[in-house]
Amino acid sequence: MYIDRRLWALTAGVRSRITAAVLIGLLAVVAGIARLALLGWLLAQVAAGAGPGALAWPILATAAVTALRGWLEYARAMIAHETAARVQARLRARLYDHLVALGPAQVARGRTGDVTLSLVEGVQQLEVYFGQYLPQLFV
């Protein structure tokens, strides 16, 4: 388990969204377990030779829980993606402000490609950390 304190500090203001993603993830876990239990029940009914009328309830319950789990995973992913986007936008603004404060003379000393890569790709890589790793770590 690794949480970088500097990166965690960037989550100020969006921690409630991370908490929501964690809670939805936990509900998705419960729905996944329920789906497996219902599938076991359905297979037991089939193995016992139950007729189509007796299989209707297990099939409907399994389908409903499967759909619920899919919706929960979608909601969790959307919340996590939006949270990561907010953190990235804030980080990019801070980096840009710092770059402007340094002035053009400081940037001229180095390679601008490295600066651009850090501002774009480096921050983009953090989407996985904020959007997937942190919520899943707590789940």
- Is 115 inside a domain boundary? yes
Estimate to the nearest angstrom the gap between the alpha carbon of 62 and the chain centroid. Answer: 25
Predicted local distance difference test score (pLDDT) of residue 111? 72
Q: Residue type for 132, please? A: Q
Q: So what's the pLDDT on residue 36? A: 95
More confident residue, 27 or 135: 27
Q: Is the pLDDT of residue 115 over 80?
A: no
pTM: predicted TM-score of the whole model, two decimal places: 0.79
* Residue 24 placed within a domain: yes
- Domain containing 132: what range? 14-138
Residue 3 lies in a domain: no
**Rounded to whole angstroms, what are the CA distances from 56 to 51, 52, 75, 96, 109?**
9, 6, 28, 59, 72
Instruction: Specify the number of domains making up the chain.
Output: 1
Evaluate whether residue 116 is within a structural domain: yes
List of long-range contacts for 120-124, beta carbons under 8 Å, 24+ apart = 123/88, 123/91, 123/92, 123/95, 124/88
d(CA 62, CA 73): 17
- For CA atoms 79, 81, 83, 85, the dihedral sign is negative
Is 8 domain-assigned?
A: no
pLDDT digits (tens, 9 = 90+) for 19-41: 999 999 999 999 999 999 999 99
Characterise 4 by phi-psi region: left (phi > 0), alpha (psi -120 to 50), beta (else): beta
Is residue 113, in this structure, part of any structural domain at all? Answer: yes
Is the pLDDT confidence value at 119 over 90?
Answer: no
**What is the tens place of the pLDDT at every residue in 58-106?**
899 999 999 999 999 999 999 999 999 999 999 888 888 888 888 777 7
* Residue 117 within any structural domain of the chain: yes
Give the per-residue pLDDT at 125.
83
